[in-house]
Structure 1
Amino acid sequence: MFNRTCLLRLLLGASIGCATLNIDAQTVSKTFTNQSLKTVLNEIETQTGMSVIYKTDEVNESKKVTITLTNASVTDALSKVLDSNLTWEIRDKMIVISRKNQSSSAKKVTVKGKILDSQNMPVIGASVIEKGTSNGTITDFDGNFTFTASENSVLEVSYVGYKSQQLAVVGGKELSIVLKEDTEVLDEVVVVGYGVQKKKLLTGATVQVKGEDLQKLNTVSPMGALQSQTPGVNIVKTSGMPGEGYKVSVRGIGTIGNSSPLYVVDGVTVGNIDNLNPADIQSIDILKDAASAAIYGARAANGVVLVTTKQGAKGKATINYDGYIGIQRMVNTVRPLNAQEYVEIMNEATEGTLNFEDFVPNWDAIQDGTWKGTNWFEEATNNNAPVKNHSLGIQGGTEMSRYSIGLAYTSHEGVYGKPAVPKMERYNARINTEHVLIKNNSKSWREFEFLIY
């Protein structure tokens, strides 16, 4: 912690030191004829290398200005082009323009002090601002600050990763301010970058699909629902048989070997997610760019599919049921030739050299049209093939223990294959519990998490 803090402060200090300009050496030379004030200020920025900052509701940008500036200092140039109700001050590489405070007649006092952290180390670059104004400064290498503020005003002290503080202005007395770390903010930063369970790259090429969107499509497998909701991801079912898996490629195929992505369910690597119950899924995130390899290594070369299942929540137990029943039926099928039409085609192909009467039974019935033959496509079709799913979810918990339980049954018959109809039956059971083992002074360690799929 000590080394990391010192390094951060050195870097900030270096940037502050590099930003210092010799203001007296900055001059402006140009003639403006009926130009807007915004144009003049932009030119001052260009020639001096400083940024001009102001509020558009306080400064009339469209005001017309006609003036000739010859080697004019920044102070002289601003005095000539700005209205009398405006004031400005120069802070490092910034020119801050603001409206004069109506209470400018209030007594001004010099405020100085030092800002330290919990380890009694100086905080470099902390912001100290007079509340409600743009008047303020930042601390130097030793954590010291000095500036002029209105008497009886309030100071706001802030720094990244620390809790902000407010205190009354005290003139003639050096302030000693100790900033406390904001642990909640620090924890959020860690979770977003390299969280224990989330592990998502928010700045990369990602696709996220919510669990409720998967359930709306009523598919047997979550991959089937993803087919219509994941641009840049090619999902193809390997077979029409019920229960068969999917071939997935993210951003195309870039290898002659295994091109399947890495599947991670609640932080655990798995082979695929074809057999997961869609009702148990909270969200699916697909990491598509090479940046995901920074977390998962070479295994993420073909992309990463992150699955987060439903978690328990504090409160009374809630029971959810999700179910659907449907039928599958082939439409717009191709009608095959009947026996009579098949004979005509074969006669044309063989120029009538085949004698069907010698080897075709019921030849007379075929010739007079009383028997059309057997439509084997129709005989093998399982019309109105049923597909159904029943899911039951139970969630609840207390401050010390939370749980989420999911049970599901899925049945899926194929539309072809009679009389031996292909059928898939699947039973899913999921238990996700989280327990607090130690709780002391509002700090808890959740060291025990129990998952069963």
Structure 2
Amino acid sequence: MKKEKTMTFLKFRLWHKSVLCLLAGLLLSVSSYAQQRTITGTVTDKSGEPIPSVTVMVKGTATGTITDFDGKYSLSGDIPADGVLTFSFIGMKTQDVNIGGRSTIDVTLQESVTGLDEVVVVGYGTQQKKDVTGSVAMVDADQMNSRPNTQMGALIEGKAAGVQVLSSSGKPSQGFSIRIRGTNSITAGSEPLYVVDGVPTTDTRSINPADIQSISILKDASSAAIYGAQGANGVVLITTYKGTSDRPTVKLDVYNGFSQVWRTLPVLNGEQYRDLMTEMGKNTDWSLYNHNTDWQKEIFQNGRSQNYQLSVSGKSNKTSYYMSGGWVEQVGVCVVHR
């Protein structure tokens, strides 16, 4: 009987030791997975310049921080040794880095390709649109496509604050004039400087409106200072389409429209005119006012317009090309008798 009790006691001690070993192993495993640690490092761009205000987060958690003015960061907390740090910054590609038990992690972020709707052309370079709001007015391709591109001035009219578009007629080949913040001179000209794909010009009639991708209008002195005295009245930067696809791209735009006189003048007919002249005490020959002709209906008609634009574009390793041609016809609402 005493021998059986001794065996039972030994079995209990062995089982108790096994449980303690198992608990100790679990505690060691948890301790190695997440523990209080500090990770430091520096975030730079490809040129080695530090990047401030970069967001550094432990992926899947709420633990994070941002870099200081020198691009340095310090991250403390329950950070798993096999976790992942996520580095993100506007204009840079988001990068994930495995911790791998390290306490110092330096990262170099790469620039991301931004679309034309996020940047504006200023002088010889580009800037973020949010940094130049108020000094640069931009009309992009989406805004231009919402209107028929038969006349360049009509594409940007009413699209840019503080910019007035003047055109002497509505002809398709008619150029346009821009006044930025009104007329600035009495004796000298108030025309801004026009720059088409980096080349200054004064002739806006030679540009096909269908070839324009975007228009940036530099309105203040700081953004136009790079052009010197020529940009005293502002600068209009016109960017045209270029070949972007490795395969040839054929684009056909067709537009047809109608126009008519919105409001005509109310006039008297022959009988009403005769009565008016009689009331005014004038001798009127009644035989001259027996017919009624509405000359407004005779002069005005329904106008129509047709616009066909065809372009072929593409690029290769060494060059890019863009060829376009168009045919435009506009018939006005006024009948011209010859």
Relative to the length of structure 1, the TM-score reads 0.48
Show the counterpart of 1:380.
Answer: 299
The match for 2:221 among 290, 297, 317 is 290
User: Could you list the per-position Cα deviations for residues 214-253 of structure 1 after superposition, in whole angstroms to 9, with x for gaps in the alignment?
Assistant: 2332142132132242232222433466654444322233
Q: How far off is 1:345 after superposition?
A: 4.1
Q: Is 1:414 paired with 2:332?
A: yes
The match for 2:189 among 255, 258, 263 is 258
Contact 2:121 2:216 in 1 (8 A): no
Shift in CA distance, 122/307, structure 1 to aligned 2, threshold 3 Å: closer
How large is the Cα RMSD of the aligned pairs?
Answer: 5.2
Q: Counterparts of 1:343 and 1:169 in 2: how far apart (Å)? A: 104
Q: How far off is 1:323 after superposition?
A: 0.8
Q: How many residues align?
A: 293
Q: Counterparts of 2:193 and 2:167 in 1: how far apart (Å)? A: 18
Contact 2:57 2:65 in 1 (8 A): yes
Q: Is 1:389 paired with 2:307?
A: yes
Shift in CA distance, 411/122, structure 1 to aligned 2, threshold 3 Å: closer
Q: Which moved more, 1:249-258 or 1:271-280?
A: 271-280
Task: Give the alignment of 1:421-440 within 5 angstroms.
Answer: none
Shift in CA distance, 415/112, structure 1 to aligned 2, threshold 3 Å: closer
Shift in CA distance, 241/309, structure 1 to aligned 2, threshold 3 Å: closer
Show the counterpart of 1:316.
Answer: 247
Name the amino acid aligned to 2:202. G
Contact 1:395 1:403 in 2 (8 A): yes
Show the counterpart of 1:4.
Answer: none
Task: Give the alignment of 1:204-353 within 5 angstroms.
Answer: 204=132, 205=134, 206-239=136-169, 243-256=173-186, 257-271=188-202, 273=204, 276-346=207-277, 348=279, 351-352=281-282
Name the amino acid aligned to 1:258. G
Task: Give the alignment of 1:3-22 within 5 angstroms.
Answer: none
Shift in CA distance, 296/103, structure 1 to aligned 2, threshold 3 Å: farther
Q: How far off is 1:388 after superposition?
A: 0.9
Shift in CA distance, 340/323, structure 1 to aligned 2, threshold 3 Å: same
Show the counterpart of 2:12.
Answer: none
Q: 3-state DSSP class of the match of 1:297?
A: helix
User: Could you list the per-position Cα deviations for residues 327-347 of structure 1 after superposition, in whole angstroms to 9, with x for gaps in the alignment?
Assistant: 222132114344454444455
Show the counterpart of 1:42.
Answer: none
Show the counterpart of 1:399.
Answer: 317
Q: Which moved more, 1:310-319 or 1:268-277?
A: 268-277
Contact 2:123 2:227 in 1 (8 A): no
Q: Is 1:203 paired with 2:161?
A: no
Q: How far off is 1:178 after superposition?
A: 11
Q: 3-state DSSP class of the match of 1:333?
A: coil
Q: Give the structure, 1 or 2, with the largest relative contact order (CA under 8 Å, sep 6 or more).
A: 2
Task: Give the alignment of 1:66-145 within 5 angstroms.
Answer: 103=31
Contact 1:118 1:178 in 2 (8 A): no
User: Could you list the per-position Cα deviations for residues 97-121 of structure 1 after superposition, in whole angstroms to 9, with x for gaps in the alignment?
Assistant: xxxxx859999999999xxx999x9
Task: Give the alignment of 1:4-83 within 5 angstroms.
Answer: none
Contact 2:214 2:239 in 1 (8 A): yes
Contact 1:223 1:273 in 2 (8 A): no
Relative to the length of structure 2, the TM-score reads 0.61
Q: How far off is 1:398 after superposition?
A: 2.3
User: Could you list the per-position Cα deviations for residues 192-230 of structure 1 after superposition, in whole angstroms to 9, with x for gaps in the alignment?
Assistant: 786747588752223322223323321421321322422
Higher strand proportion (structure 1 or 2): 1
Shift in CA distance, 283/196, structure 1 to aligned 2, threshold 3 Å: same
Contact 1:250 1:303 in 2 (8 A): yes
Contact 2:123 2:223 in 1 (8 A): no
Q: Counterparts of 1:348 and 1:365 in 2: how far apart (Å)? A: 17
Name the amino acid aligned to 1:391. Q
Name the amino acid aligned to 2:153. M
Q: Counterparts of 1:307 and 1:336 in 2: how far apart (Å)? A: 47
Q: How far off is 1:387 after superposition?
A: 1.0
Contact 1:201 1:292 in 2 (8 A): no
Contact 1:201 1:287 in 2 (8 A): no
Q: 3-state DSSP class of the match of 1:299?
A: helix
Q: Counterparts of 1:112 and 1:302 in 2: how far apart (Å)? A: 51
Q: Counterparts of 1:341 and 1:313 in 2: how far apart (Å)? A: 67
